[in-house]
Amino acid sequence: MAWTGTPSFLFVDQDPMWLAAMRRASRDLPGPKHFARSAEEAQGLIEAQVPSVIVSGYGLPEEDGLSLLERVLKQHPKVACVLHTARPPKLLRSARGIALVEKSSAPTALEAVLRALWVALTGRLPSSVTPR
């Protein structure tokens, strides 16, 4: 049975340009969206309200994004996690339960992953998005 609420999203990246790209990639998806520039800021947002989906860049000021996502999954196993990175996947340690979207991918790749997660969480297409 699909979850019936509206998914919420947290995007984390120290680079404001990548945060802007994530904002564009998620603009057609209903639901709350929050943005953080550090793992510390993200943790504060998570403590206030656990999101349905977290997308994090790898390079963050205090720790790497993969460590952040691993910690979140340990504390909140139902959160969908995506690592948005420029690092080649072979250089990353195993990240069980964490999706990977390379920053070198077309912008539509991140949009497609976000849309697929929204559908997986709700069991329906968002009304503001037409299938591609």
Spatial distance between the Cα atoms of 128 and 103, rounded to a whole number of angstroms: 25
pTM metric for this prediction:
0.87
Query: Each residue's pLDDT tens digit in the chain (132 positions)?
Result: 344 578 999 999 999 999 999 999 999 888 899 999 999 999 999 999 999 999 999 989 889 899 999 999 999 999 999 999 887 666 666 667 888 888 888 889 999 999 998 888 888 777 654 444
Cβ–Cβ under 8 Å, residues 65 and 56: yes
> Which one, of 91, 87, 90, 115, lies nearest residue 101 by Cα?
87
Q: Please measure the distance between the N-terminal and C-terminal CA atoms of the chain and give it in whole angstroms.
A: 25
Tokens 């991918």 locate to: 105
